[in-house]
Chain A
Amino acid sequence: GIQVEQSPPDLILQEGANSTLRCNFSDSVNNLQWFHQNPWGQLINLFYIPSGTKQNGRLSATTVATERYSLLYISSSQTTDSGVYFCAVGGGTSGSRLTFGEGTQLTVNP
């Protein structure tokens, strides 16, 4: 099946700093989503972005499908941004199922 690798596995920032999270995947995909898992375990959908660039407030994401990677940018980080960020991909040989990466654990300190 498709492989999804996220980096870095852990990231510690001071409030106000910017960061870039990366997701590499091993096959062509028709679906790519970024999720934030909050301390209560909820998966919050950030972006549906199988290709192109999107922005939502302090967050933006870019997927370069031909090169099989996606980036999530967080600007002016806040303590409430802390949690685990997951990239999940689907389509292609994986069918409709989403395959999740291991996640990036982000800690934003005040």
Chain B
Amino acid sequence: EPEVTQTPSHQVTQMGQEVILRCVPISNHLYFYWYRQILGQKVEFLVSFYNNEISEKSEIFDDQFSVERPDGSNFTLKIRSTKLEDSAMYFCASSSTRDGGYTFGSGTRLTVV
């Protein structure tokens, strides 16, 4: 069964550093997403991406966040200057249609120290 692949699975970074989280969505999917889950809380939407541009973003997705699809397979989330409160599990997801079923990756656990 096709999978969404995320790397790395764990990342520890110092406050103020930039991090890039990487995702390879399912190859024939057109819609891409990032979500995050702070420990013990529910999963929250960050951003959706379609046709090489952001289609929706939440209030969490401020200027320190950016997304990119640098080639035909990768989808990245960059956090420019990490804060302690950015510590969370970050999930990438993709879907073939706007309202179709999402497939989530296994997540990247980001710890900011």
Q: Which residues of A pack against B, CB within 8 Å?
A: 30-31, 33, 35, 40-43, 45, 48, 50, 86, 88, 90-91, 95-103
B80 in contact (CB, < 8 A): no
In contact, B56 and A95 (Cβ under 8 angstroms): yes
List the count of A-B residue pairs having beta carbons below 8 Å apart. 62
What is the 8 Å Cβ interface bit string for chain B, positions 82-100, against chain A (1 contact, 0 not)? 0000000101000100111
The minimal Cβ–Cβ distance linking A16 to chain B, given in whole angstroms, is 29
Q: Which secondary structure dominates chain B's binding surface?
A: strand
Given contacts A96-B55, A96-B56, A97-B56, is CB(A45)–CB(B101) below 8 Å?
Answer: yes
Contacts of A31 in B (CB 8 A): 99-102
The minimal Cβ–Cβ distance linking B43 to chain A, given in whole angstroms, is 4
Given contacts A41-B89, A42-B106, A43-B107, is CB(A98)–CB(B45) below 8 Å?
Answer: yes
Of the candidates A35, A90, A91, the one having the most CB atoms from chain B within 10 angstroms of its own CB is A90
Contacts of A45 in B (CB 8 A): 101-104
Cα–Cα distance between A100 and B99 once the two chains are bound (Å)? 15
Cα–Cα distance between A98 and B33 once the two chains are bound (Å)? 10
Given contacts A43-B91, A99-B45, is CB(A91)–CB(B99) below 8 Å?
Answer: yes
- Count of interface residues, chain B, beta-carbon cutoff 8 Å: 25
In contact, A100 and B43 (Cβ under 8 angstroms): yes
What is the 8 Å Cβ interface bit string for chain B, positions 1-45, against chain A (1 contact, 0 not)? 000000000000000000000000000000101010100001111
In contact, A96 and B42 (Cβ under 8 angstroms): no
Cα–Cα distance between A43 and B103 once the two chains are bound (Å)? 9
In contact, A96 and B109 (Cβ under 8 angstroms): no
Given contacts A33-B102, A96-B99, is CB(A42)–CB(B107) below 8 Å?
Answer: yes
Cα–Cα distance between A41 and B106 once the two chains are bound (Å)? 8
Cα–Cα distance between A86 and B102 once the two chains are bound (Å)? 13
In contact, A41 and B56 (Cβ under 8 angstroms): no
Can you list the 4 inter-chain pairs with the closest CB atoms, starting with the nearest? A48-B101, A30-B99, A100-B43, A43-B104
Of the candidates B31, B42, B56, B109, the one having the most CB atoms from chain A within 10 angstroms of its own CB is B42
- Contact of B100 (CB < 8 Å), options: A48, A88, A102: A48
